[in-house]
Amino acid sequence: MRKVLVTGGTKGIGASIALYLRDSGYDVVICARTGDADFRCDVTNRSQVEEMQKSIGDLDILINNAGGIHTSPFLKITEEDWDRHFNLNLKSILYCTQAFLPGMLERKWGRIINIASTAGKIGGRYLAAYVSSKHAVIGLTRSLALEVADQGVTVNAVCPSFVDTPMLRESADQIAMKIGRNVDQIMEGFRKMNPQKRFVDPLEVAHAVKFLIENASVNGQAISLCGGETS
């Protein structure tokens, strides 16, 4: 049975991935800072990640899902805002991947899947820090994929557009307060950005993750789940 770690796996996209893979027969371990996690771990803290690796042992599959978003007009982005995005959305991937990749390389089999966003391919108003961090996630994905391509490990990213999760509603609340609009109007604007005029279901992201686990020839890709908004 393949062992999987899902970071940030207690809610939203991460919870859907974890549940779906468990139902599909994988041995799934969830880590998060809050909620009903198998391991409490702040993945922006290298020492905590290293301790988690010692407890879990080797993995077959790493799902780097932990992430976050804070909306702000560009001129109001603080250094703290910027660092928070890059620590959670990018540095967490560095720490977790450096912790678990060696075991995959030793066994010559592994899957690393980074949950990115269509924001890693296009821009977005009030999202400069988030967009920048997700572009970096895709760059990391493509570079590492080439580095390990002949060693039995694949590295890919899944890039959903707006997904129907509590985090999306929180983002809409932030924008609504800052620009003086109704939160339902913001949510409707998000929905209409998808050419299919709908939000992505978290389970669709889980399906894409399972596809990437089971297909050894797919490597270095950033697969969009967005109804045609971007390639």
Which residues are tagged catalytic? 130
3-state DSSP assignment of residue 62: strand
Give the position of tokens 């809050």: 34
* CA–CA distance, 110 with 206 (Å, rounded to integer): 18
| End-to-end Cα distance, the chain | 34
Amino acid at 87: N
Distances, alpha carbon 215 to alpha carbons 26, 145, 224, in Å: 16, 14, 17
3-state DSSP assignment of residue 3: strand
Give the Cα-Cα-Cα angle 181, 127, 212 (nearest 5 degrees). 120
